[in-house]
Structure 1
Amino acid sequence: MIDSPSSNKVLDLVVDLDGTLIATDLLWESVFQLLKKNMLYIFLLPVWLLKGKANLKHQISQCVTIDPSTLPYRSEFVEYLRQERDQGRRLVLATGSARSFADSIAGHLGIFDAVYATDENRNLTAHKAAFLLETYDNVKFAYAGNSRADLPVFDAASEVIVVAPDRAARKWQQTHSTRLFEAPKTNFKIFLKMLRVHQWMKNTLIFVPAILDHMLMEWQVIVNSIFAFFAFSAAASAIYIINDLFDLPLDRQHARKKNRAFASGAFSIRFGLVVAASLLLIAGLLASQLHWTFGAVLAGYLITTTAYSISIKRMLLVDVFTLAGLYTLRILAGAAANQTEGSFWLLAFSSFFFLSLALVKRYVELKNSVVEENNRIAGRGYRRADREVIAQCGIASAFAAALVLALYVDSDAVVSLYAYPWMIWPLCPIVLYLNIRIWILAYRGEMHDDPVVFIISDWRSQVVIAIGAALLLYGGMRS
């Protein structure tokens, strides 16, 4: 939809899209959606790029659609545009994003009189200033942008509005008299939430093999375990970021996840990629200080959790078995870091225990879902009608974990490690209490959707865990 420039005294307001009208970059978003659709597209992207960036954007837009209603718009700026439109000002959307994306957004907002965008043969990002000067041919226009790429257009425009500027655009704005719309302030708390630092507590499972083998008082074991903990934590945070980038459309449809750093536009996708790469580098450097088997386990974790983020999370039951396996991998990592043997009993117990918690997570998602009984919930392989079966399997797994623990307490392995094996028996009801209480709270709708985080933050769970640790470390240990 292209109309002639206005000849009114009020200048046409030409508006940039990525970073200005919306707090995201549609090229990066569409790349992640394309790869989520099929990872093999990664081999086609360089081929498309060889024919130019315009062709790349066009080809991606032919394979991917966006939902304009869920995008993170700059609400204050959009309201300003609506007011200008109501006062008779002509608004024009000029963007380097693909034509289909631009038309979709313009149609959703219903405030633009014309749309200029990238097509198969022309990348508007690189030639926007020349294009607008040619289009407006001696007719003055106003322009709203946000980045270094907009600086040539700022110089060509008669009136400039700077929205959520990057460093270069802010420097330009400070030397010119322009209107400024600031982006919402970010802080370190948002950054920590992006890293999911609270999820690092899951990685304390790395210390479990050393604790159960009574080796945690050895200095080298402590150092190795700490290195392994932070290596796993850095790797996990990197994967959380990548997972968020793949899940942007789904997160924006979720009541709570829509406020995440990337879904809300608080941080840019490029920033997320830089942070993720840095975290993976840190994880690799820490892993290089430990035995190579730890690096192999960490690599297996990265591969598995990436596959989970891209496809496994949408597979019925395979997803929960994978989640349980990822917890068990942390225990194997702890054993590998200190070159201790992984206990059969510990691995069997953790498999059933964490399978129960993974099933709790899915049950809560199903219970809170608003879709109809026989429809799948977004991004999962489950229907709401599955929740009772999920609950039955989860409770059965909880009892199986307690049974494995009971058999272990009655085994020769305990006799060789503990002077008073009978003092370990209370661990069985403690494990059942933790698990069954979580299931009861899940039935009531009173539990956080991540049961592991719930256990860590719930004071009752902390008390019974402390009692169990005291029995394990002090009551039953040989002097």
Structure 2
Amino acid sequence: MVSQAVAPDETAAASGRALCVDLDGTLVKSDTLVDSLLLLARTYPLKALQAPLWISGGKAALKSKVGSFVQLDPTHLPYNRKLLEYLMEQHREGRRLYLTTGADATLARRISDHLAIFDEVLASDGTTNLTGHNKLGSLQQKFAAEGFDYIGNARPDLPLLQHSAEPMTANPDRALRGLLRRHKVSVARQFDDRAPMGKVLLKTIRLHQWAKNVLIFVPLLLAHMLSLRLVGQALIAFLSFSLCASATYIVNDLLDIEADRKHPKKRRRPFASGDLSPKSGVLISATFLALAFAGAAMLPIGFLGWLVTYLVTTLAYSLHLKRVMLIDVVLLSGLYTLRMLAGGAATSVTFSPWLAALSVFLFLSLAMVKRFAELQNVKASGQALSNGRGYLLSDIEQLRSFGTASAYAAVVVFALYINSPDIMDLYHHPTRMWLMTPLMILWLSRVWLLASRGELDEDPVIFAVTDRMSLLIGACIAVIAVLAAI
């Protein structure tokens, strides 16, 4: 156990019983050890593999070892806002506040220094893990005369709450609530700072991103083979891909917790904000993957191959490749094309080479505009570039050149496709398809123009399914396709 005292002239006058506050899950809504392990896995993957060996020396030794490699930024931790406001009020009134935590002392001190409201820090020191009865013994020894008040959130805090003169909780978990009822412990105050679970789960799985997987239906639609059996197979493929995609989004968010907390929008994601625990995320991800592969087992074996390819590629992208300039956008565009290949494999529909060429250029342009919009928005806000993507603000114009060239190449490929034998066989009035060309030019030009103005969401696919003009253009293209077919 480590004690960090603050100079007397920096503390408020002693007032009443000392208030002792737990850190993990209480003052901070997340578990700092888990967050540190995830940061270690992102920063030093090989070191993270050694973590099971470090724990052989005890949990306190593990915390110390992890802390020697990575340090969380206390500025961006997901603090329980209601509790923090209360502590600041108590500090202003001169009450003695103690940060008493099982977290490693180095991290606890940095958090205390940042908040500047605690009189002293009691934390794990690499040998003693200051939780449960270890923490209780330390507090009873320190406050033997006047006693103490305590704020906690989980099962290990039960003995401390039982011996607290005025027990309080912050975001208490179900296990602790049950134990408090069983032991008839009356809680004086409860500080809840949690988002509705239904909303949190929807944000976690990124349901809106499932719109990308509609591409699985494209080969079937363009081949005009809309039998009930094939549509059913395509629907199973859509659900399998969507579940697999959500599982990989969760893995990506878990590994990006620390970086997301520094982002003005991504800091609201469930794991970064502390509204959902990493343990829950791992469970959801594993369940989704199991369901995805169960669905794939019902389809032709070729679909399973594409699903595995998608999973491996997206994990490689999340772990490293998204930080390699140009490789990231090529992979993103390839994943869109892969969805259509998977749709063709699921329904045994031949995938047109023309469609493959069109998708490569079109989605490369959309991947480019996503990176361009990120840089443009950072430049407009005047903030420092900190997303680790491998691009510089000076690359904006080059990305614009790459992306717009790819966009108009897609239009050219589509124009050539209209004159191909495939179109002649599938459409009674193929010349009507030419009406789609100006609509494609209009939409792609508009996307790039809005991105240049800083008015485009960083994800162009989400923009496409929420923008009225985009939806209108899409509806017009669908009508033209029907008119060309009849």
State the TM-score, normalized to the length of structure 1.
Answer: 0.93
1:156 to 163, 173, 176: 163
Match of 1:225 in 2: 234
Corresponding residue SS for 2:270: coil
The one-letter code sitting in structure 2 at the alignment partner of 1:277 is A
The one-letter code sitting in structure 2 at the alignment partner of 1:214 is H
CA distance 1:41–1:2, change in 2 (3 Å)? closer
**Aligned partners of 2:464, 2:381: CA distance in 1, in Å?**
30
Judge conservation of contact 1:162–1:169 (CA < 8 Å) in 2. Answer: no
1:309-354 deviation digits (Å, cap 9, x = unpaired): 2222211111111111111111111011112232211111111101
Is 1:476 matched with 2:484? yes
**Aligned partners of 2:143, 2:162: CA distance in 1, in Å?**
15
What does 1:279-358 align with in structure 2 at a 5 Å threshold? 279-358=288-367
**Aligned partners of 1:400, 1:357: CA distance in 2, in Å?**
13
Match of 1:168 in 2: 175
**Aligned partners of 1:426, 1:39: CA distance in 2, in Å?**
52
What does 1:325-404 align with in structure 2 at a 5 Å threshold? 325-370=334-379, 376-404=385-413
The one-letter code sitting in structure 2 at the alignment partner of 1:426 is L
**Aligned partners of 1:59, 1:452: CA distance in 2, in Å?**
42
Corresponding residue SS for 2:121: strand
1:425 to 431, 434, 454: 434
TM-superposed deviation, 1:172: 4.4
Judge conservation of contact 1:117–1:124 (CA < 8 Å) in 2. Answer: yes
CA distance 1:375–1:180, change in 2 (3 Å)? closer
Match of 1:198 in 2: 208
TM-superposed deviation, 1:135: 4.1
TM-superposed deviation, 1:262: 1.9
Moved more, 453-462 or 388-397: 453-462
Judge conservation of contact 1:93–1:114 (CA < 8 Å) in 2. Answer: yes
1:40-88 deviation digits (Å, cap 9, x = unpaired): 2342121112232222211111111111111111122112112222222
1:14-38 deviation digits (Å, cap 9, x = unpaired): 1100111011111111111111113
Match of 2:56 in 1: 50
Report the number of matched residues. 475
TM-superposed deviation, 1:8: 6.7
The one-letter code sitting in structure 2 at the alignment partner of 1:167 is R
What does 1:99-114 align with in structure 2 at a 5 Å threshold? 99-114=105-120
Is 1:262 matched with 2:268? no
**Aligned partners of 1:200, 1:255: CA distance in 2, in Å?**
24
Is 1:140 matched with 2:150? no
Match of 2:193 in 1: 183
Judge conservation of contact 1:373–1:384 (CA < 8 Å) in 2. Answer: no
TM-superposed deviation, 1:145: 0.3
**Aligned partners of 2:72, 2:380: CA distance in 1, in Å?**
21
State the TM-score, normalized to the length of structure 2.
Answer: 0.92
**Aligned partners of 1:286, 1:47: CA distance in 2, in Å?**
37
**Aligned partners of 2:475, 2:214: CA distance in 1, in Å?**
15
Match of 2:89 in 1: 83
Judge conservation of contact 2:18–2:95 (CA < 8 Å) in 1. Answer: yes
Judge conservation of contact 1:374–1:383 (CA < 8 Å) in 2. Answer: no
Judge conservation of contact 2:81–2:193 (CA < 8 Å) in 1. Answer: no
Match of 1:130 in 2: 137
Unaligned runs of 5+ in 1: none
| Identical pairs, percent | 41
The one-letter code sitting in structure 1 at the alignment partner of 2:81 is S
Corresponding residue SS for 1:476: helix
Judge conservation of contact 1:372–1:384 (CA < 8 Å) in 2. Answer: no
**Aligned partners of 1:316, 1:208: CA distance in 2, in Å?**
29
Match of 2:46 in 1: 40
**Aligned partners of 1:293, 1:172: CA distance in 2, in Å?**
52
